[in-house]
Chains A and B, each alone.
Chain A
Amino acid sequence: MSDNHSPRTASQRIAWITTVVVASLVLVFLMAPILAIMPLSFSSGSYLTYPLPGLSLRWYEDFLNSPRWVSSLKNSVIIGVASTILSMVLGTLASLGLAQWKSKFKPLVLAIVLSPVVVPGVITAVGLYFFFAPLGLTGSYAGLILAHTALSTPFVVITVSATLQSFDMNLARAAASLGASPLYAFRRVILPLILPGLASGALFAFATSFDEVVVVLFMAGPEQRTLPREMFSGIRENISPTITAAAVILTTISVILLATLEALRRRNERLKGNLR
């Protein structure tokens, strides 16, 4: 509890109050811009200023009636879901392998697997653009799905590996000693226990693809423009209230992802608490 920092002297109290005030201002700085644009999307006027002339859903209607925005949302979902599935398969297999693999090369392999997170987006995008163009993979869904899979798999490996670390391998041994085949043991014993970890990994993967724009900027043809890509051109040209509606839609999806993730984390902690 906070008794360790409960202010004892006046000067300590002043220091603590100053910290709280400054920290609160920073938290406001973090939230304010996001909160500020939300009401604008419900404005009945076409200027992005306060006070709002009136409330309406016309910009959401505009979004839903625009083939450009709707198809971009559809593209984001298609590419996000497909790359999530692919990165879950590759990432989970690799995590299972890494958990059992002891070798002096392990740090190197881990560094390679995680490197797509560290390498700047532009470098990945330019490399992919050069590499995929002669193969006919630029301007195609397949190319974008492959690229996004490469970018999201590290998050799957990080999350699933962390889950496997806390997994008690004795349970798998017990299943084996009772005659379960490795596959059966995985399906009936390991999988149900690591499922929340897998779900978190899938959410990270989807969020990564859903938010990615640099690779899309280089590789997508007009047919594959995603929601962030459409927002990028929208911001470049001129910010219309329709973009704020798109922003609210994107933020809502982020909030749902975050809430699910938080629920999974809480459930996991509760389970761990029960086991102790």
Chain B
Amino acid sequence: MTAAFVAGADASSEVPLKRRLKRAERTRRLKALALILPLLLFLLFTFLGPIAGMLWRSVDDWEVRQVLPHTVAALADWDGKDVPGEPAFAALAGDIRTARDAGTVAIASKRLNYALNGFRTIMAGTARNLKTLPEPGTAKDTLIGINPAWGERATWAAIKGASGPLTSFYLLGALDLTRNVDGAIVAAPEEQAIYRDVFGRTFTISLGVTVLCLVLGFPVAYMLATLPTGQSNMLMIFVLLPFWTSLLVRTCAWIVVLQSEGIVNDSLRWIGLIDEPLRLIYNRFGVYVAMTHVLLPFMILPLYSSMRSISPAYMRAAASLGASPVTAFLRIYLPQTVPGIGAGSLLVFILAIGYYITPALVGGAADQMISYFIAFYTTETVNWGLASALGAVLLLATLLLAVVYGKLVHGQQVTGGMKN
């Protein structure tokens, strides 16, 4: 537009002005970028970098490579069909001697123990009993003499599998899969295959909480959207106050209310409905109650804002055309709330699958969700590879859902169902 106007006004100055405009536009863009850049760099350091680092840890396989470098090199050409030859044994003996002096045997044996149960014992025993470097040509016999496990293909396959630099071991493990001696992907042994259960449980609890929030939140949103503004603003406090109350306070409150000497059990006993206290907390029931309570506002707020925008004229039109109230509600009102239902449900579900604090405090051992295991492998049994792999799966699921959510609320306000 501007260019056309300029061209009409004075053809001779067209080019320099066009260029000047372009330059001004570029300066403006650079200035805008310069304002955004500090935050992007900050997030690179405090958010994106750390998450990329976590993802890297889920495939990084450095331990064996660093501690047993010669063995890894010697096994590079090993076809895995039979126990490797003398050079691999000599390299291993040398590496173990070096590692023993450096005190790094435990690093490698911890990693190898994930791949093959009992490897820690094999490594420790070998390091202890390998007093001197074996004479050339006798390494194989010496090592097998110390521990017959060295004469087994599986032992060497474990080293080969863990020799990096990248591994699919942790990611496969997070999906209850593993590689067998021949490197084929197979189901993990039963005692290790718990994560599909955990993901399934996380999904079930999140879905249950989402449905509960929708069932409980719909009438509230409907009432708030239908009442006159003054009254609905007043009642909105009942939604916003819990929303703003600390998660810890709300979780603590539920424990006080639901525990065996808690208010609910005491009241039920007092009116004589029960003799023994009901078990209402530290089980699945408690998790559902507390999580639904915490996430309910995230359902009510988007539902409310979508219902508020529905013009009452549609319902009146339906009624005037002879639709029964039920038909009008089901055919006219409900379809218009679908975007709100979708946004609220997705938001609740996305938040629920990442929950950690509430299930950790009000759930039993069988109610812990995936976040609990990520935290457990990070701080309790330090298995950072597995923690990162479980985190990668959870992150992927969350981001996929978030993209769907973004598409859904696109065009609605940016703030959608967030705190507003």
> Chain A residues in contact with chain B, CB under 8 A?
1-2, 4-5, 9, 11-12, 15, 19-20, 22-23, 26-27, 29-34, 36-37, 40, 47-50, 90-91, 93-94, 96-98, 100-103, 109-113, 115-132, 146-147, 149-150, 153, 155, 157-159, 161-162, 204, 207, 210-211, 213-214, 217-218, 228, 231-232, 235-236, 239, 243-244, 247, 250-251, 254-255, 257-258, 262
- B325 x A9 contact (CB < 8 A): yes
Q: Take A48-B256, A122-B371 as given contacts and tell me if A158 and B32 are in contact as well, using a CB distance cutoff of 8 Å.
A: no
Inside 8 A of A159's CB, which chain B residues have their CB?
415
Q: Is B251 an interface residue (CB 8 A)?
A: yes
- B253 x A31 contact (CB < 8 A): no
Q: What are the 3 A-B residue pairs with the smallest beta carbon separation, nearest first?
A: A120-B354, A97-B35, A4-B312
Inside 8 A of B251's CB, which chain A residues have their CB?
235
Q: How distant is the Cα of A3 from the Cα of B367 in the complex, in angstroms?
A: 47
Inside 8 A of B261's CB, which chain A residues have their CB?
47-49
Q: How distant is the Cα of A264 from the Cα of B171 in the complex, in angstroms?
A: 48
Give residues of chain B (245-283) contacting chain A, Cβ–Cβ below 8 Å: 245-257, 261-263, 266
- B226 x A5 contact (CB < 8 A): yes
Q: Tally the A-B contacts, defined by beta carbons under 8 Å.
A: 277
Closest CB in chain A relative to B393 CB, distance in Å: 10
- B378 x A126 contact (CB < 8 A): yes
Q: How distant is the Cα of A115 from the Cα of B38 in the complex, in angstroms?
A: 16
- A126 x B387 contact (CB < 8 A): yes
Taking a contact as CB atoms closer than 8 A, the residue among B38, B239, B249, B361 that contacts A236 in the complex is B361
Q: How distant is the Cα of A216 from the Cα of B246 in the complex, in angstroms?
A: 15
Closest CB in chain A relative to B59 CB, distance in Å: 14
Q: Is B85 an interface residue (CB 8 A)?
A: no
- A97 x B387 contact (CB < 8 A): no
> Chain B residues in contact with chain A, CB under 8 A?
28-29, 31-40, 42-43, 45-51, 53-54, 57, 216-217, 219-220, 222-224, 226-228, 235, 238-242, 244-257, 261-263, 266, 293, 296-297, 312, 315-316, 325, 350, 353-357, 361, 371, 374-375, 378-379, 384, 387-388, 391, 394-395, 398-399, 402, 406, 413-415, 418-420
- B325 x A112 contact (CB < 8 A): no
- A130 x B54 contact (CB < 8 A): yes
Inside 8 A of B248's CB, which chain A residues have their CB?
211, 213, 228, 231-232, 235, 247, 250
Taking a contact as CB atoms closer than 8 A, the residue among A33, A126, A262 that contacts B375 in the complex is A126
Q: How distant is the Cα of A98 from the Cα of B39 in the complex, in angstroms?
A: 11
Q: How distant is the Cα of A236 from the Cα of B374 in the complex, in angstroms?
A: 19
Q: How distant is the Cα of A22 from the Cα of B235 in the complex, in angstroms?
A: 14
- A130 x B53 contact (CB < 8 A): yes
21 contacts between A and B (CB under 8 A): A4-B315, A11-B325, A100-B32, A113-B40, A122-B356, A122-B371, A123-B374, A123-B391, A127-B50, A127-B51, A130-B384, A131-B50, A150-B47, A213-B247, A228-B246, A231-B246, A244-B252, A247-B248, A250-B248, A250-B249, A255-B241
- A101 x B33 contact (CB < 8 A): yes
Beta-carbon nearest neighbor of A118 in chain B = B402
Inside 8 A of A236's CB, which chain B residues have their CB?
361
Closest CB in chain B relative to A99 CB, distance in Å: 8
Taking a contact as CB atoms closer than 8 A, the residue among A103, A124, A155, A257 that contacts B47 in the complex is A124
Inside 8 A of A115's CB, which chain B residues have their CB?
47, 402
Interface residue SS majority, chain B: helix
- B357 x A214 contact (CB < 8 A): yes
Closest CB in chain A relative to B320 CB, distance in Å: 12
Beta-carbon nearest neighbor of B226 in chain A = A5
Taking a contact as CB atoms closer than 8 A, the residue among B43, B256, B355 that contacts A116 in the complex is B43
Interface residue SS majority, chain A: helix
- A90 x B252 contact (CB < 8 A): no
Inside 8 A of A36's CB, which chain B residues have their CB?
253, 256-257, 263
Closest CB in chain B relative to A30 CB, distance in Å: 5
Inside 8 A of A117's CB, which chain B residues have their CB?
418
Q: Take A213-B247, A228-B246 as given contacts and tell me if A33 and B51 are in contact as well, using a CB distance cutoff of 8 Å.
A: no
- A120 x B353 contact (CB < 8 A): yes
Inside 8 A of A23's CB, which chain B residues have their CB?
219-220, 222-224
Inside 8 A of A109's CB, which chain B residues have their CB?
36, 40
Beta-carbon nearest neighbor of A249 in chain B = B249
Interface centre among B36, B42, B217, B402, by most A CB within 10 Å?
Answer: B36
- Known contacts A9-B325, A110-B414; can you find 5 more A-B pairs with CB under 8 A? A27-B239, A93-B39, A117-B418, A122-B375, A232-B361
Q: Take A33-B250, A243-B252, A250-B249 as given contacts and tell me if A50 and B266 are in contact as well, using a CB distance cutoff of 8 Å.
A: yes
Q: How distant is the Cα of A254 from the Cα of B245 in the complex, in angstroms?
A: 6
Q: Take A122-B356, A130-B50, A131-B50 as given contacts and tell me if A27 and B220 are in contact as well, using a CB distance cutoff of 8 Å.
A: yes
Q: Take A94-B39, A150-B47 as given contacts and tell me if A235 and B361 are in contact as well, using a CB distance cutoff of 8 Å.
A: yes
Beta-carbon nearest neighbor of A262 in chain B = B240
Interface centre among B39, B40, B244, by most A CB within 10 Å?
Answer: B39
- A119 x B51 contact (CB < 8 A): yes
- B242 x A30 contact (CB < 8 A): yes
Q: How distant is the Cα of A20 from the Cα of B50 in the complex, in angstroms?
A: 48
- A33 x B244 contact (CB < 8 A): no
Interface centre among A101, A119, A127, by most B CB within 10 Å?
Answer: A127
Beta-carbon nearest neighbor of A210 in chain B = B246
Inside 8 A of B48's CB, which chain A residues have their CB?
112
Inside 8 A of B255's CB, which chain A residues have their CB?
235, 239
Q: Take A31-B242, A213-B248 as given contacts and tell me if A90 and B47 are in contact as well, using a CB distance cutoff of 8 Å.
A: no
Q: Take A19-B223, A20-B223, A118-B398 as given contacts and tell me if A98 and B252 are in contact as well, using a CB distance cutoff of 8 Å.
A: no
Beta-carbon nearest neighbor of B220 in chain A = A23
- B256 x A244 contact (CB < 8 A): yes
- B36 x A33 contact (CB < 8 A): no
Taking a contact as CB atoms closer than 8 A, the residue among A22, A33, A49 that contacts B266 in the complex is A49
Inside 8 A of A262's CB, which chain B residues have their CB?
240
- B252 x A127 contact (CB < 8 A): no
Q: How distant is the Cα of A239 from the Cα of B282 in the complex, in angstroms?
A: 14
Beta-carbon nearest neighbor of A208 in chain B = B419
Inside 8 A of B402's CB, which chain A residues have their CB?
115, 118
